[in-house]
Amino acid sequence: MTKRNGERKSRVPSMTALWERRRLVLSLVLCIVVALGGAVALRTYGPWSALGSTAYVSPTASPAPAFHQIYSFSFDILPHEPSYPMLLHVGQSVTFEWIPGPYFSVQGDALPANRPFPVHCTLALYGPYPSMDDLTKAMNAAATTGDGITPPGKPAFTTSPPGMTDWDSTPHQVEIVLPTTLHAGYYQAGSECQYERDQGSTGTGIPIQIDV
């Protein structure tokens, strides 16, 4: 203690001042710890984890994809004729139709899918053969060689439906006027569909007779 002008003054800080200093030091230390912890969380988990456990959802997020039944296709010719084989005429308007049905894959029945895949179908007329027996023999020869639903040789006529996918639940049709370049005789109308989903295929064959 010192004595000045008859007064006694103490150089020892008061208890209140000491507590104020300690509170200030503790506040600074706490701020530094919080800042370091936030920096570590931001670097480790990213900006949204550092803010808390609530996930951020963008208002423009895409909705979950919808699932859809998938189909395979069989082939038919319209109009139906009572005769067998079907009798058609050169110059006649004929509708070739691809009809959707249950899809089967090598793994079994196919489940609904969240996106469509293209389907490529073709149609070809093979012939002419002089008789139905000759056409049948050609088809039997194709079966033994593994050529499937079409007889040997190049087709006399080809066409295909446009823009098919395995989500299509309605038939696809192509209307054709039978060209005059076709000769009278018996033909095999064969259609094969290739499926990009699993690289599988289906085929349909229909014998027809064309008259001039």
Decide if pLDDT at 1 tops 70: no
Q: Summarize pLDDT for 81-135 with one digit per residue, the tens.
A: 888 899 999 999 999 999 999 887 655 556 678 899 999 999 999 999 999 999 9
Phi and psi dihedrals of 85, rounded to 5?
-70, 165
Residue matched to tokens 């949204």: 48
Set out the domains of the chain in order of their start, with CATH numbers.
13-51 (no CATH), 71-211 (2.60.40.10)
Among left, alpha and beta (phi > 0; psi -120 to 50; other), residue 142 is alpha
* Sequence-distant (≥ 6) Cβ neighbours of residue 196 within 8 angstroms: 117, 118, 119, 120
- Asked whether the beta carbons of 210 and 182 are under 8 A apart, the reply is yes
pLDDT of residue 40: 54
Largest CA distance in the chain: 145
Q: Cβ of 152: how many Cβ atoms within 10 Å? A: 11
User: Which residues sit opposite 87 in a β-bridge?
Assistant: 209
pLDDT in tens, 141-193: 888 876 667 888 899 999 888 889 999 999 999 999 999 999 999 999 999 99
- Exposed, middle or buried by CB within 10 Å (0-12, 13-18, 19+), for 205? middle
CA distance 22 to 38: 24
Q: What is the mean pLDDT of residues 21-38?
A: 59
| pLDDT score of 7 | 44
Q: Which of 179, 212, 211, 207 is nearest to 86 (CA)?
A: 207
Peptide bond into 13 cis (omega under 30): no
Whether the model pTM is above 0.75: no
Distance CA 16, CA 3 (A): 24
Provide mean pLDDT across the span 194-204. 91
What average pLDDT does the segment 57-72 reach? Answer: 71
pLDDT band at 2 (very low <50, low <70, confident <90, very high): very low
Instruction: Give the span between the Cα atoms of 198 and 127, in whole angstroms.
Output: 32
Token pair in block for residue 18: 């000491």
Separation between Cα atoms, residue 48 and residue 42, nearest integer Å? 8
Query: What band does 17 get if pLDDT is binned at 50, 70 and 90?
Result: low
